[in-house]
Structure 1
Amino acid sequence: MSNGFAIIRGAAPTSLLGRINVDLDSRYAATPFCEGGFYGARTKRFGRLLIRSPHMADLVMNRAILELAEIALGNWCERIQLNLAQAIELHPGALAQFPHRDQDMWQGALGEVEYLVNVMWPLTSFTAENGGTIIWPRSHGLEALVEEPREAPIIAEAEPGDAIVFLGSTLHGAGANHSKAVRRGIIVSYCLGWLKPYENQWLAYPPHIARSFPREISELVGYVQHRPNLGNFEGQCPSVLFDADPEDARAAVDALRPDQAAMLAQHVASQQAVASGTRS
């Protein structure tokens, strides 16, 4: 994504987005408008989408999108994780959102590391009139350190089934809805596996829920360790909670990268050699 974003036409079947849209209807209706200028007083948002539609897993696990996220983020982590899956409904009269970069959630080095890949999936048409996502091309990476973006923004017009993909360092924001209809979309994002995600996945999908997920989904929402040993439960992979009592006593088990395991093996061998010489 040399421009900091890409629009992938027909990235998912239109019928899949249609089924998800129907599944979310009741939740959209029940959800109150957001509070605060950033989220928007004429906007509705809610998460936990993996339990709100049985079809969301297919969207979250879209193979082409996951491969793109792995390419964009893989240099800085051992595995990626789900950052959020959130539904958005922009109502008539919604103001344009404050331009922002999602990487600003984390206070790490800027311009050196990409922390996040966002995917906006339209559930309705995204147009200039109804508040389609505004993106500043080539405002990512080191350009995030520039006070004013060098290029004019574009409006990412798209249809259900298209994927609007952009980096966490890319400047963007929802447009203003000047139409008479709501604009619906889903944001799915993936971040480095060692970061704290926007949506607390272990609260969104506690063990009694996540145990029913396919393994690749449960791992994506955090029920797996990020080597070395990060995100463990009592020194083991948190997936042990799917089949065991949390109060069970258990041994801590190494979870190391291959390079670390090799260095550790050398260290242990040298220590054993010293110990053997001492005993003799």
Structure 2
Amino acid sequence: MSQIQTRAADACDHALEPYVDQLARDGWCIMPDALTAQHITRLDEDLAEGFDQAPYCNGPFYGETTKRLGRLPLRSVHSEALICHARILEIVQQFLGRWCDHVQLNTTQAIAIDPGAPAQAPHRDQDMFHGPKGELEYLLNVIWPLTPFHPDNGATRLWPGSHGYAAIEGSEVREEQAVAPVLAPGSALLFLGSTLHGAGANRSGSVRRAVVIGYSLGWLKPYENPWLAYPPLIARHFSPELAKLAGYVQHRPNLGNFEGQCPSTLLTAGPELMTGPRDALLPEQAEMVEAYCRAQQVPG
């Protein structure tokens, strides 16, 4: 277990301790009945037209018998309950919060895997970021099944203990060590960005559908470009929490600003009402600047 995972387990609310403990130990956990099955059904119904119209993916990784939909807040109002789930966001904060001012959406994606689809190559989602691995986590993903998950219909396979420092040890991937949890709609599968995983083969006669909500450190470039996916005219209709997760917040010091200000200004006003750029420094930076200004005032 890495130091950040140990701290996460120590700091967690007692009701969430079992989930944080398993995430820290195994790299994944299941939160049963996180939402009602009825809510998931309504979301699935909203996504049905998009799946019908979507083309299949290209390439063996995305899956040529797989369909993927992004920008879920535009496709269904029911997606916000998944994205802004309070207990899950608290767990996300425990694992990612030490390394950033705030977390952000890395992706909102719905996935449909057709019968006959082969298993996906095992991978770690953190590998999209070219940075040091082991001590910190870049991502935490949540899979919400829209249809029941079981080993025969392509349930996500996970390799327990493959996360954290184990991700840089280069151990052999052995299929028999993978687990494919059985999940019902309404449950949530959480796993770290360093956890080895992959979709299973769909050997059933029906499509396996799911939603993936991914969260990442707020200073990273996310998988889905939020300002193209949700421009200001769209995002101004979001709740404040959803807008913040979708990138309309400034990450200290001044990362992601618009004309030197927090981009959330664009949701309530326009560029013509902007004032001059303003500081948004980290505490140690503000202290350094203040100390320098005081020193300049000392008579020579």
Fold conserved (TM > 0.5)?
Answer: yes
1:100 partner letter: H
The answer to whether structure 1 residue 155 and structure 2 residue 199 are counterparts is: no
Whether the 8 Å CA contact 1:38–1:98 is kept in 2: the answer is: yes
Q: 5 Å matches for 1:193-232? A: 193-232=218-257
Inter-CA distance 249–220: structure 2 relative to 1 (3 Å threshold): closer
The answer to whether structure 1 residue 10 and structure 2 residue 33 are counterparts is: yes
Deviation at 1:268, TM superposition (A): 2.0
Whether the 8 Å CA contact 1:110–1:144 is kept in 2: the answer is: yes
Deviation at 1:249, TM superposition (A): 6.2
Separation in 2 of the partners of 1:8 and 1:71? 16
Deviation at 1:247, TM superposition (A): 5.7
Q: Which runs of 5+ in 1 are unaligned?
A: none
TM-score normalised by structure 1 residue count:
0.94
Inter-CA distance 9–243: structure 2 relative to 1 (3 Å threshold): closer
Separation in 2 of the partners of 1:264 and 1:215? 31
Percent pairwise identity:
52
SS of residue paired to 1:154: coil
Q: 5 Å matches for 1:1-280? A: 1=23, 2-147=25-170, 148-149=172-173, 152-246=177-271, 250-271=275-296, 273-274=297-298, 277=299
Separation in 2 of the partners of 1:225 and 1:170? 29
Q: Corresponding residue for 2:18?
A: none
Deviation at 1:264, TM superposition (A): 2.5
Separation in 2 of the partners of 1:83 and 1:214? 18
Separation in 2 of the partners of 1:200 and 1:269? 41
Deviation at 1:12, TM superposition (A): 1.4
Larger radius of gyration: 1
SS of residue paired to 2:33: coil
SS of residue paired to 1:208: helix
TM-score normalised by structure 2 residue count:
0.88
Separation in 1 of the partners of 2:38 and 2:269? 39
SS of residue paired to 1:157: coil
Deviation at 1:261, TM superposition (A): 2.5
**CA offsets 1:64-105 (integer angstroms, 9 cap, x no match):** 110110001112111100101100001001110011000000
Q: CA RMSD in A?
A: 1.5
SS of residue paired to 1:155: coil
1:246 partner letter: P
Separation in 2 of the partners of 1:91 and 1:160? 18
Separation in 1 of the partners of 2:190 and 2:268? 37
Whether the 8 Å CA contact 1:114–1:141 is kept in 2: the answer is: yes
Separation in 1 of the partners of 2:63 and 2:215? 23
**CA offsets 1:114-156 (integer angstroms, 9 cap, x no match):** 0000100000000111000000000001111122147800002
SS of residue paired to 1:261: helix
* Count, aligned residues: 275
Inter-CA distance 37–251: structure 2 relative to 1 (3 Å threshold): same
Whether the 8 Å CA contact 1:133–1:157 is kept in 2: the answer is: no
Separation in 2 of the partners of 1:187 and 1:112? 24
Larger deviation: 184-193 or 14-23?
14-23
Whether the 8 Å CA contact 1:134–1:172 is kept in 2: the answer is: yes
**CA offsets 1:227-280 (integer angstroms, 9 cap, x no match):** 111110111101122244436664110012334333332322222x23xx36xx
